[in-house]
Amino acid sequence: MAVKPLLIIAWGNRSRGDDAVGPLFLDALGRALSDEQTPRVDLLEEHQLHPELALDLVGRQRVLLADADPQAEGAFAISDVQPGSDASLASHTLSAPALLAVYCELHGRQPPPVTLLGLHAERFGLGRPPSEAATEALPAAVLWALGWIDAD
Amino acid sequence: MTELETAAQPQGLRRVAIDPISRVEGHGKVTLLVDEHNRVQQARLHIVEFRGFEQFICGRPYWEVPVMVQRLCGICPVSHHLAASKALDAVVGARPVPPSADKLRRLMHYGQVMQSHALHFFHLASPDLLFGFDAEPARRNIVGVAQAHPDIAKKGILLRKYGQEVIRATAGKRIHGTGSVPGGMNRLLQPEDHALLSRDVQQMIEWAEDAVALVKRLHAADVARHESFGLVPAKMLSLVRPGDGALELYDGVIRVRDAAGNILLDDQDPATYLDLIEEEVKPWTYMKFPYLRSLGPTDGWYRVGPLARVQNCNFIATPRAERERREFVDSGHGQIIHGALATHWARMIELLHAMEVMADLLHDGDLLQGVLTASGPRAEECIGVIEAPRGTLIHHYRVGADDLVTMCNLIVSTTHNNQAMNESVRAVAAERFDGRDISEGLLNEIEVAIRAYDPCLSCATHALGSMPLQVDLVDQGGALRSRLTRHGDGRFERA
């Protein structure tokens, strides 16, 4: 089966306040996809980034990673991700650059272009609902992501 | 209290802190107190954060719990999913669940154990073992393994990927699935998933055997180091299969052996765990210390997990893993094996066993058809025990007539191992610390001893954290004497 050209991975814990905004973003994006967009994009929800996700990147034209970002000013922040080794390589969960570093070593080539979408986030309390500010910021992020899907 | 847990006269001692510990899930630190002769007088593994998951669960409808508890941990959510389901089976009177549900849960569980063991060994432990404890820190990670040993790294990632596919196929989602429910399962294995998993299973078994061979080669290359490093004689607690005492990871009876291998307790119904185990609270850490009631807190502590399980059982019921178990046991020359690094060998034997179990299950038609749930007279109190990748996992609930959870008690694997981990830290510190300065090598050796247990401090204390490593030397007045920091890019900086 052919791999869809676009991949969007969002991660976080739905029970930890604004850590849920990644999965909630993915839910909202899934509902907003048009019939033309759906066949071109895979949506993956994760609790955190794992090394085997490097296999999911294979064959993609572009990849979007979405995570709660307490440093994001405004509704969201956009940045390109480059492969890089960091302390997360010595933990159970990888950073986005470390995931790409695993990809490089595993496949012997550079990964597809990867963009990080940092979603507005403020609080991460266990059992707390997402903050009003983070929830209100989601539609703008979804709108941006719909444009990212169509940007060829 | 055990030797080196609390110094007799801590006032005049120098304090050394390793904070936090890398390559474990969660946030902990180690402190050492040394006397004027630079001998270690006290060594403790502290857990520095706490989040109350039990309170989080209370007040929830019971049917939500198997899904909610998966959010305790990003590492072994399936173990919590299944332990909660097993417990809550009693609430709906499903004793037992139908055969198809039992086999689907087993497939899910062994997939989880396999992928977790693969992550730990290939991603976190193998860099130390392949390159040595003193190798350049920037190299001691999965990228370093992929550069130097691409075949090993690739097999590790593909083994883990296979386990994740098993979880997706049985739980319905890659993460936080809903496949297991109180009373059974809510989905059969789909034919296309059965075909996918069956296609690759033999390859995975071969790679699992390669993993055992690799850990044996590493052991053989430095037998003395592997046998003595972090050696802590400990009692061993695990589930075993009722009747024949075989290795059993999904459902069984509790057995305890002493450090010499003599059986202390056997055939204990896991539902009686409160009669067997009590938890001690200590003021210097948030993680509790379970112990056997019959022996008390000083003598009653024990080890759980692969090293305990592989030696607690009478045999392993799958042929390849049993062959490997015999070789492992024989390497002890009649003695129980307690070295921390032997845990990796035991872990890979379990990984192979898990693959064999999955291969057998994939031949069983009950995965594809059959009744999925059962029901019967309702119980208000329920206990589910499972062997999670890191060891015995206990879920205990009370559910009111309004279907809401009124009590929740969780004892996770890492909590069972709390004392054993502390003892391993003490063993390494006493042997390796020269009392004068914290070297990068010592720092990593203490971490290696802790990591052998594959602790999930997130589960144990319900905290999350990931930071660069920092070691502080503090004098008795509290003043910072020196600091060793390992930055995120692997650089060391001494201040």
- Phi–psi pair at A69, nearest 5 degrees: -140, 100
User: Does residue B370 lie in a domain region?
Assistant: no
Q: To the nearest whole angstrom, how far is the Cα of A68 from the nearest Cα of chain B?
A: 15
Interchain CB distance below 8 Å, A88 and B488: yes
Q: Is B441 helix (H, G, I), strand (E, B) or coil?
A: helix
User: Does residue B197 lie in a domain region?
Assistant: no
Of A82-86, A127-131, B161-165, B428-432, where does the model show the most confidence?
B161-165
B100-105 average pLDDT score: 98
**Residue showing tokens 């209100």:** A136
Whether B142 and chain A come into contact, CB under 8 Å, resolves to yes
Q: List the B253-257 sheet strands across, edge first.
A: B263-268, B253-257, B235-240, B302-303
Which helix (H) or strand (E) segment is B98 a member of? Answer: none
DSSP B125: I
Q: To the nearest whole angstrom, how far is the Cα of B74 from the nearest Cα of chain A?
A: 6
B363-367 average pLDDT score: 98
User: Does residue A103 lie in a domain region?
Assistant: no
**Residue showing tokens 């883990």:** B160
> Chain-wide mean pLDDT for chain B?
86
Tell me the CATH number at A76: 3.40.50.1450
Token pair belonging to B294: 């019959």
In chain B, the number of structural domains is: 1
**Which of B339, B324, B319, B354 has the alpha carbon at shortest distance from B214?**
B324
pLDDT 10s digits, B390-449: 999 999 999 999 999 999 998 888 889 889 988 888 888 888 777 677 677 777 788 788
pLDDT 10s digits, B326-360: 999 999 999 999 999 999 999 999 999 999 999 99
Q: To the nearest whole angstrom, how far is the Cα of A143 from the nearest Cα of chain B?
A: 26
Quote the domain boundaries for residue B478. 10-48+436-494
User: Does residue B450 lie in a domain region?
Assistant: yes
User: Does residue B4 lie in a domain region?
Assistant: no
Size of interface A-B (CB pairs under 8 A): 100
Interchain CB distance below 8 Å, A91 and B22: yes
Q: Percent of chain B at pLDDT above 70?
A: 83
User: Does residue A120 lie in a domain region?
Assistant: yes
E strands present in chain A? 6-11, 41-46, 62-69, 76-81, 114-120
Which helix (H) or strand (E) segment is B472 a member of? Answer: strand B469-474
Token pair belonging to B53: 């998951």
Residue B493: pLDDT over 70? no
Whether B469 and chain A come into contact, CB under 8 Å, resolves to yes
User: Does residue B29 lie in a domain region?
Assistant: yes
Residue B457: band (very low, low, confident or very high) from pLDDT cuts 50, 70, 90: low
Whether B123 and chain A come into contact, CB under 8 Å, resolves to yes
The contacts of residue B291 (CB under 8 Å, 6+ apart) are: B277, B278, B279, B280, B297, B299, B300, B301, B302, B419
User: Does residue A100 lie in a domain region?
Assistant: no
Quote the domain boundaries for residue A12. 6-50+61-83+112-150
The amino acid at residue A44 is L
What residue of B is the nearest CA neighbor of A50?
A: B119
Q: Which of B160, B175, B456 sits opposite A47 (nearest CB)?
A: B175
The contacts of residue B414 (CB under 8 Å, 6+ apart) are: B287, B390, B391, B421, B453, B455, B456, B457, B459, B460
Whole-prediction pTM: 0.88
User: Does residue A89 lie in a domain region?
Assistant: no
In chain A, the number of structural domains is: 1
pLDDT 10s digits, B5-42: 666 666 555 555 555 454 444 555 677 777 777 677 77
Token pair belonging to A8: 């969007």
pLDDT 10s digits, B107-129: 999 999 999 999 989 988 898 88
Interchain CB distance below 8 Å, B157 and A106: yes
Q: To the nearest whole angstrom, how far is the Cα of A127 from the nearest Cα of chain B?
A: 6
User: Does residue B129 lie in a domain region?
Assistant: no
User: Does residue B43 lie in a domain region?
Assistant: yes
